Amino acid sequence: MKVEFFERILAARRARQPVALVTRVEDGVQALVDAGSVAGELVLDAATLAEVRERLCSDRSGPLDTGGGALFVRCHAAAPRLVIIGAVHITQALVPMAAMAGFEVLVVDPRRAFAAPARLPGVSVSTAWPDEALAAVGLDARTALVALSHDPKLDDPALVAALRSPAFYIGALGSTRTHAKRVERLTEAGLGDALQRIHAPIGLDLGGRSPAEIAVSILAQLIQVRHAPAGTTRAVP
């Protein structure tokens, strides 16, 4: 690997920007691919480049056979991140499940009684208001946000921030009626068609009712969305 590529990969990881190093197996010629550019001596046709970028979105390294010879795609990306609004009972179940699935987890709840360390031991917790916490963290294309507080004062600002970001998944707890009222409020805030990005009622319809069962349905849905082929949408009510 060229020193230039190594340095660019390190910089991209620090910025949470995924990049893929594509190597032609036959002679070791390489290209560095990100969402908007290609660098290096290896020339990739449009179809191959599209495949590399699709793999980059889902962080799938591995061999790739093309008309121009065998390639190996090595994706370099930060861990996917899950931001949870509201330190509620569902959150207590969802956090360890998401961590086991490889997500970095941040819980945001300014209500200190809910966000007490005893309720979420070993978890990164912010007690700032959601709009402040999300502005500090930043929401990128490898971030999922779930709003679970069931309190519009907390959930709505978080959803606004998420809808104005490239977050790959946005979900909100609440019934169909609750979501209809939420849509009215957020429409008044000027979000318009972006509201279709919200998965609500949140989670796959697995029939569960307990906090742990709901947590399973949420994690299953955001994993499904994360690995959906580029340009497709799944599990949106």
Q: Give the Cα separation of 188 and 32 in Å (integer).
A: 43
Report pLDDT for 236. Answer: 41
Average pLDDT for residues 168-195, to the nearest whole number? 92
Strands of the chain, DSSP E:
19-24, 30-33, 38-40, 62-66, 69-76, 81-85, 104-108, 124-126, 143-147, 169-172, 198-199
Rounded Cα–Cα distance for residues 134 and 147 (Å): 12
pLDDT in tens, 135-152: 999 998 889 999 999 999
Which residues are within 8 A (CB) of 12 and not within 5 positions of it... i.e. 6 or more apart? 18, 19, 34, 76
pLDDT of residue 3: 83
The model's confidence at residue 234, banded by pLDDT at 50, 70 and 90, is very low
The CA distance from 121 to 31, in Å, is: 43
Instruction: Provide the mean pLDDT of the chain.
Output: 90
Answer whether 147's CB lies under 8 Å from 159's CB. Answer: yes
Q: What is the pTM of this model?
A: 0.80
Q: Which long-range contacts (CB under 8 A, 24 or more apart) does 196-200 make?
A: 196/236, 197/163, 197/170, 198/159, 198/163, 198/170, 198/171, 198/172, 199/169, 199/170, 199/171, 199/172, 199/225, 199/235, 199/236, 199/237, 200/171, 200/172, 200/173, 200/174, 200/237
Q: Which domains does the chain have, with CATH numbers?
A: 3-76 (no CATH), 81-226 (3.40.50.720)
Half-sphere exposure of 21 (CA within 13 A, CB side): 19
Provide the percentage of residues in the chain whose pLDDT is more than 90. Answer: 65
Mean local confidence (pLDDT), 58-67: 83
- C-alpha dist (Å) from residue 182 to 11, 67, 82, 132, 185: 39, 50, 22, 21, 5
